[in-house]
Each structure stands twice: as structure tokens, then as C-alpha cells.
Amino acid sequence: MVALIASIVITGAMVGAVALQARRRPPGAPLTWGEAFVAGTFLFSLAFMAYGVVPHLWLTFADSELQWRTDSLGIPTPFGRLWEDGITFFGRGRIMINAQVIRDIVATLIYGLFLVGNFWGWLWWQKRGKRVEVTELVSTYGRPLKKA
């Protein structure tokens, strides 16, 4: 659990470092070869943490300490297990859910969260420094002004 929390904290700190650099660096500033090399290495390390280390440590934590295996039926909660006998549909069939399915769903959500964050980060980086132009003149009270 310590390794999982540490990897999440390190990944968050790396994302914070990218955001801090984005606020400091003006858009369109020239980039030297050394800066590009360091930035590429840093972003590769961030992707490695986000898509490799954090999901791996979640799966390891769920398998070892939580013991979410295929033989533990039901959805694990802090208060016990839900639907240990499966989910029935009006007496016609049953869906058996084990803890490993929930573990894999959480891992998929981790990947999805990082993927959405990755796209959002790209858009945010590209749009930084751009101002929204006001096409309509307004007074100090927010009312539109008309030309005389």
C-alpha cells in the first residue's frame, strides 16, 4: 500500500511540475536542444508512472493485501460482500461476480482517468496564453454599449 500511495504522490508531483512550468514559460518561446531532451525524458517518465507503475501497483495491492481473487465471490465493500450468490434476473439465470472483476474495473478506470487527463493536458498546454477576445463593448455594470 505504501508503494501505491507513493507512486500516486510522485505522479501528482510530476503533473504539478508540468503545470508550474507551463505557467512560467511563455507560449512560442524558443526551445534549446537540452531543454527538449530534458522535457522529453521527463514526460516519458510521467507516462511510465501513469500508465505503467500506478496500475501495476494497484493490481499488486488488490491481489496481495486485499486478496481480491477469482475464488472470492461477490463485490467487496468495507461492510462485507454484496451479491455473494450472484445477481439473478427474475429466476432466469445468474451472473456471478468475483473480486478480481472489480479489481480489473478499477484498473481500467485508472487507465481511463490518466488518458482523459493526458488529452486535457495537451489541450491546456496548446491553449495557454491565449486570451478570449470580447467582441461586444460592455459598461462597468455589464450592460452592452451601443455605438452612437
In a domain, 64, yes or no: yes
Q: Would you say residue 126 lies in a domain? A: no
Q: For 30-44, 77-91, 116-130, which range has the lowest pLDDT when averaged over its residues?
A: 77-91
Distances (CA, A) of 92 to 73, 75, 132: 20, 21, 58
Number of domains the chain is built from: 1
In-domain check, residue 144 = no
Q: Which one, of 102, 108, 99, lies nearest residue 70 by Cα?
A: 99
The pLDDT tens digits of the residues spanning 19-49 come to 999 889 888 889 999 999 999 999 999 999 9
Instruction: Give the pairing of strands 87-88 and 94-95.
Output: antiparallel
What pLDDT shows up at residue 132? 63
C-alpha cell at 48: 511510465
Q: Which residue has the higher pLDDT, 130 or 21?
A: 21
Is 136 within a domain?
A: no
Residue 143 lies in a domain: no
Q: Tell me, what's the pLDDT at 14?
A: 97
Please check whether residue 135 lies inside any domain of the structure. no
- Domain interval for residue 81: 2-119
